[in-house]
Chain A
Amino acid sequence: MMDLYANLSLGFSIAASPYTLMLAFVGCFVGTIIGALPGLGPSNGVALLIPISFSMGFDAISALVLLTSVYYGAMYGGRISSILLNIPGDEPAMMTTLDGYPMAKQGRAGEALVVSGVASFVGAFLATIGLMLMAPWLARVAFQFGPAEYFALYMLAFCTLGGVGSNNQAKSAIAACIGLGIAMIGLDQTTNMQRFTFGNIHLFDGIDFLVAIVGLFAVSEVFHFIESHGKNSAIGVKLGKVMIPWKMLNDTKGAMLRGSGIGFIAGILPGAGASLGSFLAYMGEKSIASDKETFGKGNPRGVAAPEAGNNAAAGGALIPMLTLGVPGSGTTAVLLALLLTLNITPGPLLFTERPEVVWSLIAALLIANVMLLIMNVPMVKVFVKILSVPSYVLLPGVTMIAFVGIYSLTSSSFELKMMVAFGVLGYVCRKIDIPTVPIILGILLGNAMEDNLRRAMILSDGDWSYLLSSPISIGLWLFAVLGFLAPIFLRKFLKKPPLPTLDED
C-alpha cells in the first residue's frame, strides 16, 4: 500500500505540471470531439494523431499523456452522437443508441447526456483505480513468463480476438495471418537476411505499422463514407437546456457500478475490449431488471450501464497492454503502436525500469477523467455544436490529416501510396466482414511472436514440445483454443439486438 502511495505521488509530481495539465486538457477536448464525430472513433482518432504528435517532437511522457487523454476523451465523446443522432460515434458506443436515442426523441436528450457522462466517469474512474491496483501485480506475475509463454500469450490474443470479436472464425484468422505475413516483410532480426522485399529499398525496414493503421482505420473510412452517404443521414434531435437530473443519477447508480464491473473484466480479457464490455453490461443490466420491456424504449439504466461498461473496459484494456505488451482491442493496439513509436517496450520490465512512465500515465488518466467529467456535463453543448460540422468538410479534412501525418513522418510518397493501398484493403475487408483489428495486431506483434518462438526453440534445442512444457503455457494454450472455439456454440445466445429504427417522425 505504501508502494502504491509512493508511486502515485511520483506520477502526480510529473503529471501535475502546468504544461502536462494543458496537454491533458487539449487531449481531452480533441478526444471528445473525435469520439463524437460519426466515423471517427478512439482507434482511428488516436491513429491519426500519432504521426502528427511524433513529428511535433514531444517527449515520451508528454505524447503519452496527450494521446491517452484523447483515448479516454473519445470513449466519452462516442455517446454524444449515439444519443443525439442515433449514429454511434464509435463502435463501443453502439449499445448507448439503444436507449439513448429513444430518450432523446422523448425530449430527454439533456438528461441522457448527463447520465451517460456521469456513467462514463464512474466506469473510467473505477477502471483506472483497478488498473492501479492490478497492473503492478500482473507485472510481477509476468516476470515468470519465458519465450514459450509469450508465444502462447500471443496465440491467446489472436484466438480470443478471432473468436469473440467476429462472426466468422476463418475470416478473423485469415486477417491475423495477413497481418503476420506483412510483419515478416523486411530484414529478419536474427539473421539480417532480406525477406519478401523483392529488392525494393523501401521495404528493407518492413512496412511501418503506422502507415497500415492509418490506412486501414482512417482512409478506408473515406471509401466507406462515400459509398454509404445519404443512406443513414441522421435526423438530429434538438437539445434543450441541460439540467442535472439528480434523481435519475441516484436511480441509475446501481447500473453504473454493475456496468463498470462487467466492463472492467471484459476489458482485461485479451481480444474483448470496449465493444464487448458495453454489450455485456447492457445485456447484464437488462437481464436483472424487473422492467425488461422498457429497455430499448428510453430506460436511463440502459444508457448508464453500457456507457459505464465501455469506459471501464477502456481502462481495463490498458492492463494487459502495459504489463504484457499484448493489446486486447483495436484501440489498445493503436496505443501499443504509440508506445513502440516512442521506443517504450511495454511489459513487466516497464514497471521496474521506467516507473515514471507508468505512473505518470496513471496519474494523467485520473486527471483526464476529472477534466472530462467537467467538459462532458456542463460543457456538453459545445460539443453538440461541433457535431454540426458538415460531412463535406469533415471527411476531406480527415483524409488530408491522414496524409499529412504519414507524410510528415516519413516524407516519402511511397508510404502514402502504401497507405492508400491499405485503405482499399480496409474497405474490402469491411465489405466482406473480415475484421481489420487482427491485421493490425498481426503487424504489431508478428516480429515479437516469431522472435519468442525462435528463442524458445534455441532454449529447447529445437524440441517443439517445449512450447507446452510449463503449466502457464498449457493454460494459455487451453484458453486460446477455448476462446477460439467456444463462441461458435455461444453465438446463438449472444445475438446483438438491432439498432432502433429511424422512423420519420
Chain B
Amino acid sequence: MPKLHIRTEINGEPAEFLAEPHQTLLDALRNELGLTGTKEGCGTGDCGACSVTFDGQLVCSCLVLAAEAEGARIGTVEGLASGEALHPLQQKFLEHAALQCGVCTPGFLVAAKALLDRNPDPDERTVRYALAGNLCRCTGYDKIIRAVLDAAAELRGEPA
C-alpha cells in the first residue's frame, strides 16, 4: 500500500507529508513533520498531552488519523506564540509556576486556549471541567487553574 500524500495546514502554514493509512495524526506530527511539541502520554485519548485543534475543534491527535488532516486546519502548541511574544496563557503558566516537569504543558495550553476562545470568562469550575481531559501528575492542578483564570482576565483586558 503506497503512502498517502496529505496536504494540510498547520499553524496557519501549508504543510505536506506522507502518511500510512493507519498512522495517527500525533505520529505524523511528531515523526513526519518534526513537530514534537505535541506529546504522547497514553495513545488512547485519556491524558490530553497530544491535544491539538482540528478545524478549530479541540481533539486528541492520537485519536485522529493522519489521513484525515487532508484539507484540514491543524493547530499545535508550536503555533501559540507569535514571533517573539508568548501567548498570554504561556506567559501566565510561567508566572504562576503552572508546570513542574512540563510534559503535559503543551496539551494544557492548547486545551485552555480552546476554552478561552469560546468562553472568555470561565469560572473555576468551568475551567476544571474543561481541562479534565488533561492529566497532570506534578502540580495537583492548582497553579494551572490559576494561570488559566489569570490569562483569561488578561485577555479580557482586565487589570491584574
The reply to whether chain A is a binding partner of chain B is no
